[in-house]
Amino acid sequence: MALLGTPAIVLSALRFSETSKIVRLATRDYGVQSAIAKGALRPKSRFGAALQLLSEGQAQLLTKEHRELHTLTAFDLQHLHVGLAGDLARYATASALAEVMQNSLERWSIRRGRLRGRDLGAAYFTADK
């Protein structure tokens, strides 16, 4: 098992059990990754509100070779888009863009190989904001 740290953006978050979430992360170094955030739904979770749609932060992933679902051990929040919750149109647009980004990165990774998928993920992080 290897512990990887990388900047990431939350593309989606699904409830997995009473206390856990499965998140899809767009990472700078590793493309789109799926991870389980154990205990994320507990009242005193270390993740708090950090795993909301389009949250940006530093992800710590515990990975195993030949596995597609990793373990998210930490997500140090750097930017939470709280303004999206107040405007339904902006939230819908952001959700659609997150889905397009997720699908684009996955398809790019499949067609070009993992290295190219990482390059596309890095393009987002290095673009002028």
Q: What is the pLDDT of residues 60-111, one digit of tens each?
A: 999 888 888 999 999 999 988 777 778 888 888 888 888 888 777 665 554 4
Place of tokens 């390059």: 119
* Residue 41 three-state SS: coil
| Number of domain units in the chain | 1
Question: Are the CB atoms for 36 and 73 separated by under 8 Å?
Answer: no
Whole-number CA gyration radius for the chain: 14
| Distance, CA of 71 to CA of 66 (rounded, Å) | 14
Please give the residue range of the domain that contains residue 13.
2-126
Q: What is the mean pLDDT of residues 51-55?
A: 87
Tell me, what's the pLDDT at 62? 93
What is the structure's pLDDT at 81?
A: 78
Give the rounded percent of residues in the chain with a pLDDT score beyond 70. Answer: 81
The CATH number for 71's domain is 2.40.50.140
* Residue 69, pLDDT score: 92
Do 75 and 24 touch, CB atoms closer than 8 A? no
